[in-house]
Amino acid sequence: MQSLPQNPRSRAKSAVALWLTFAAGMVDIIGYLAVYHLYAAHMTGETVELGHYLLTGDWPTVAKAGAVIACFVGGSLAGRVVIEVGARRRIRSIASVGLLLEALLLGLLIWLGTPLINLAHGHELSVGSVCWLLGLLAAAMGLQTATLTRIGSLTIHTTFVTGMLNKFAQTFSEWLFWLHDESRKGEHLSAVFHKSREHSSFRTAMFVGLIWFFYLLGSVVGTWMSSRWSTHSLYLPFALVILAAGVDQFRPLSLEEEKDQV
C-alpha cells in the first residue's frame, strides 16, 4: 500500500509538494484569465476541447489546445530526461535542474509576454501569441509534473488533482474500515480517533486532501492577484519554484524518481 513516510527528508519533500501545488494552481488560473481561456496543466480538459473543436472546425482553437498539450508533454519529457541523467550520473540534487528550467519558463512569460499582453489593450491575442505564451506555462507545468512524483512509496501529482482526489477516496475509505474494526474491539471511540494520527491511511488521506486544497487555494489567490497585476502575479509561483530548488540542495527531492530509472 502506498503511504506517506515520516522522516525529515519526507517531511521537507511534503512541504515542497504542497507549495508547488499551490504554485501550479496559480499558474493554471493566471494563464486562463490573463492569456486565453485554456488551462496550462489540465490536459484532460484540453484533450476534450481539442476533440470538440476538431469536430466543429474551429482551427484557431485547435491550434491553441494542440500547442498546450504538445508543450506539456515536451516539458514532462524534458523533466524525465533530467531525472534519467541524474540517475546515471548519481546527482543527488537533480531536481534543481528541472525546477530552475520551470522558473526560467515562468520568467520568460513575465518578462516577454506581459508587454505583448499589454499591447493588446484587452483585445484577443493572435493565435501565434496565445500558442507560445500558454506553451511556456504548459511546458513549465510538464517539467514540474516530472520532477516531483514520489514521496517514499506514495505517488503524487503537483499540477493536477484528479488522481489525488481518487487517492484521497481510497485511503479515506481504508481508514473508515480501520476505524470500524477498532471500535468493534470495545475501545472508546475517542481513543480510536486519537490513534488515527499514527495510522498510515489516515495520514496519507489528510496529505493528499491537502494537495487538493492547496491547488484550490492557488487558484483563489491567482484569481485575486490576476485581477490586479495580470501576468506579474506569476512572480509568486516563480519565487516558490526557486525556493523549492534551494531546498533540493539540502534535502534532495528526486531520489525516489532517480531510483525508478536505475
State pLDDT tens for residues 136-169.
Answer: 999 999 999 999 998 988 999 999 999 999 999 9
- Per-residue confidence band for 179, with pLDDT thresholds at 50, 70 and 90: confident
Residues 204-251 pLDDT 10s: 999 999 999 999 999 999 999 999 999 999 999 999 999 999 999 999
Residues 29-52 pLDDT 10s: 999 999 999 999 989 999 999 999
Q: Is the pLDDT of residue 113 over 90?
A: yes
Q: Is the pLDDT of residue 1 over 60?
A: no
Q: Report residue 91: phi and psi, to 5°.
A: -95, 110
Q: Is the pLDDT of residue 175 over 60?
A: yes
118, 76 Cβ separation under 8 angstroms: no
Domains located in the chain, CATH noted: 8-261 (1.20.1250)
Q: Is the pLDDT of residue 96 over 60?
A: yes
Q: Is the pLDDT of residue 259 over 70?
A: no
Q: Which residues of 133-151 are buried (b: 16+ CB within 10 A; e: fewer)?
A: bbbbbbbbbbbbbbbbbbb
Q: Is the pLDDT of residue 115 over 90?
A: yes
Could you tell me how many helices (H) and strands (E) the chain has, helices first? Answer: 11, 2
Using alpha carbons only, give the angle 60, 43, 203 rounded to the nearest 5 degrees.
160
Query: In the chain, how long is the greatest CA-to-CA distance?
Result: 70
Q: What pLDDT does 68 receive?
A: 97
This prediction's pTM: 0.94
